[in-house]
């Protein structure tokens, strides 16, 4: 388990992370989501021990990670812009990883290069962006570390390769207990594979919750009331995260289970009523709007 308590990281006078407390369980895909500048990449770098926190603590299986080889031995971090040595090729990167990670699986790496169509002798500088990202992911998987931290892992990958990467994550989770921790703006991709999601905003943690529970506890409603005045009063009795109105059509995002919401509106005089499933993207937008990040201002100006 990764346990983070009261974590603070500053860049000058700016707090990139402000009093973050978070637990990341083993053998689950943890999705780290956030607005631009929310601190996702900073958090991954702190967990991997690349940077030192200004306050608070990070423990990986009970051990600190910064300047602690024992704490880092079960972590591999892949940044959104992976580093490769100048003029190197995949075969030479394999030799380097073998020297750093004692459990690196060279035979599997060779096989995966072939499966993904990557030439081990071709210079990495001649690879496309997507090919570089593939190489970084394959190197990371073959380290056989318990925790794999990935920043924008799907960026630049075509749909076939994305599916292949997801399959590899699932295989390693099943066979050796891998815990992928993925920071991404691509919420639709995360929705397909994540078990748990953490929302960051302005350096703070909005929430951290199992994705299934999150979807159970928040509902999207579209309705038209027979009497608008009575309808507005009825809405006041709900915990409303977001409320839009076009003509007489109300679109609400509310907290509560679907059956509770249906029961609440059961005897209300309605022209139209429907409970709709929310996507992870819709939940994220609603939560960040509730925290003061108004997406409409960005869209409408």
The string of pLDDT tens digits covering residues 85-105 is 999 999 999 999 999 999 999
pLDDT (tens digit, 9 = 90+) per residue, 135-165? 999 999 999 999 999 999 888 889 999 999 9
Burial 133-164 (b: 16+ CB within 10 A, else e): bbbbbbbbbbbbbbbbbbbbbbebbeeebbeb
pLDDT at 263: 92
Mean pLDDT to the nearest integer, 249-254: 93
Same domain, 156 and 188: yes
Is the pLDDT at 297 greater than 80, yes or no? no
Same domain, 264 and 182: no
Give the CA dihedral 273, 187, 6, 38, nearest 10 degrees: -100
Same domain, 187 and 87: yes
Same domain, 180 and 162: yes
Q: What confidence category does residue 252 fall into, taking pLDDT thresholds of 50, 70 and 90? A: very high
Same domain, 61 and 138: yes
Is the pLDDT at 19 greater than 80, yes or no? yes
Q: Which has the higher per-residue pLDDT, 138 or 287?
A: 138
Contact 231, 264 (CB under 8 A): no
pLDDT at 296: 47
pLDDT at 34: 82
Mean pLDDT to the nearest integer, 24-33: 93
Contact 24, 33 (CB under 8 A): no
pLDDT (tens digit, 9 = 90+) per residue, 171-200? 999 999 999 999 988 788 888 889 999 988
Same domain, 227 and 110: no
Same domain, 148 and 85: yes
Stated pTM of the model:
0.83
- Average pLDDT, rounded, for the chain: 90
Q: First and final CA of the chain: distance in angstroms?
A: 43
Reduce the DSSP state of residue 132 to 3 states and report it. helix
pLDDT at 62: 94
Looking at 210, 243, 268, the residue that finishes a domain is 210
The enclosing H or E element of 140 equals: helix 129-142
Considering only CA atoms, which of 161, 163, 94 is closest in space to residue 131?
A: 161
Q: Which has the higher per-residue pLDDT, 74 or 296?
A: 74
Separation of alpha carbons 43 and 86, rounded Å: 28
Domain limits for position 157: 2-210
What's the domain count of the chain?
A: 2
Separation of alpha carbons 187 and 154, rounded Å: 11
């Amino acid at each position: 388990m990764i346990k983070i308590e009261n974590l603070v990281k500053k860049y000058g006078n700016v707090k990139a992370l402000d009093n973050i407390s978070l637990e990341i369980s083993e053998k689950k895909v943890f999705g780290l989501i956030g607005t631009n500048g929310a601190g996702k990449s900073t958090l991954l770098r702190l967990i991997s021990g690349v940077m030192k926190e200004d306050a608070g603590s990070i423990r990986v299986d009970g051990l600190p990670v910064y300047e602690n080889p024992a704490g880092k031995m079960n972590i591999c971090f892949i940044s959104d812009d992976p580093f490769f040595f100048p003029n190197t090729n995949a075969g030479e990167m394999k030799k380097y990883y073998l020297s750093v990670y004692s459990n690196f699986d060279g035979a599997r790496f060779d096989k995966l290069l072939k499966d993904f169509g990557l030439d081990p002798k071709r210079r990495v500088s001649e690879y496309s962006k997507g090919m570089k990202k593939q190489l970084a992911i394959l190197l990371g998987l073959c380290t056989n570390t318990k925790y794999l931290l990935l920043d924008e892992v799907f960026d630049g990958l075509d749909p076939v390769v994305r599916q292949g990467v997801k399959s590899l994550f699932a295989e390693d989770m099943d066979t050796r207990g891998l815990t992928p921790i993925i920071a991404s703006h691509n919420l639709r991709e995360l929705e397909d594979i994540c078990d748990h999601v953490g929302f960051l905003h302005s350096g703070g943690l909005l929430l951290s919750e199992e994705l299934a529970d999150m979807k159970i506890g928040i509902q999207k409603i579209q309705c038209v009331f027979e009497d608008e005045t009575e309808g507005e009063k009825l809405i006041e009795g709900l915990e409303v995260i977001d409320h839009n109105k076009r003509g007489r059509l109300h679109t609400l995002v509310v907290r509560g289970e679907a059956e509770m919401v249906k029961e609440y509106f059961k005897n209300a005089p309605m022209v139209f009523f429907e409970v709709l499933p929310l996507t992870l993207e819709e939940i994220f937008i609603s939560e960040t709007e509730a925290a003061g990040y108004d997406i409409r201002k960005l869209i409408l100006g």
